[in-house]
Amino acid sequence: MDEERIFFDAQGVKIEGRLGGDCARGAVVITHPHPLYGGDMDNPVVESVARAYAEKGMATLRFNFRGVGRSQGRYDEGMGEQEDVTGAVAHVRELGAGSVDLAGYSFGAWVNARALSSLRGVDRMIMVSPPVDFMDFSFLHHTPGLRLVIAGDQDDFGPAHRIKELLPLWNPECDFEIIPGADHFYGGKAHVLEGVIGAFLNRDSAHKD
């Protein structure tokens, strides 16, 4: 996957990212797991999400939240991180992205969900292993833009049965895919995860056509 290292602005904070592909064909902004537990844009699950989108011809922007890697600032308990997401979406829009997806893994899914209400121009959101037993998702109500949620059936941080209980509140029409044998970290399941995302993108493209 061919990417270039870039920096973009998030309310005066310089954020480090990796951009791949042509934004004119649409783009996805991808967020990573919890910074205090080693999460960054080079996380294998984040890379899997990027590969799945890149294979469909969309541009990908994954980035380090503030305080991670070469991104300025410091961890802000999900508040400043929402500004990082806003800055990333604005950046791909400036580069010509006519459509923008928002994809987050674990903590990244939580931040994206919190940021979505104040974002303009996001077409779809997908969440990979939203950590519903680790972080508070009670703020999230009906969200038509939420189109796909993925979980492993061995996930202790985002148990599939708990996510299934919450989905009618979030979006009863959202696709929910459970990957057998996968825990929160998707060890040995990267190809399955990429296949699930690829199949979703194919379905959604066919639906639009």
What is the average pLDDT across 117-135? 94
Res 1 pLDDT > 70: yes
Three-state DSSP string of 95-162: CCCCCEEEEEECHHHHHHHHHHCCCCCCCEEEEECCCCCCCCCCCCCCCCCEEEEEEECCCCCCCHHH
209 — pLDDT class (breaks 50, 70, 90): low
pLDDT score recorded for residue 204: 85
Q: Please tell me the pTM assigned to this model.
A: 0.97
Query: Edge-to-edge strands of the sheet including 13-20?
Result: 4-10, 13-20, 59-63, 27-31, 100-105, 124-128, 146-152, 175-179
pLDDT digits (tens, 9 = 90+) for 130-184: 999 999 999 999 999 999 999 999 999 999 999 999 999 999 999 999 999 999 9
Name the nearest CA neighbour of 99 among 157, 180, 24, 9. 24
Query: Residue holding tokens 């209400």?
Result: 117
Domain count, the chain: 1
119's CB contacts (< 8 A; 6+ apart) are 85, 86, 89, 102
What is the average pLDDT across 32-58? 98
Amino acid found at 203:
R
Q: Which domain holds residue 122?
A: 4-208
∠16-41-125 over CA atoms, to 5°? 100
**CATH (domain of 132):** 3.40.50.1820
pLDDT digits (tens, 9 = 90+) for 53-108: 999 999 999 999 999 999 999 999 999 999 999 999 999 999 999 999 999 999 99
Report in angstroms the alpha-carbon separations of 176 from 9, 34, 55, 160, 196.
34, 23, 21, 9, 10
Res 207 pLDDT > 70: no
23: phi then psi, degrees, rounded to nearest 5 = -65, -20
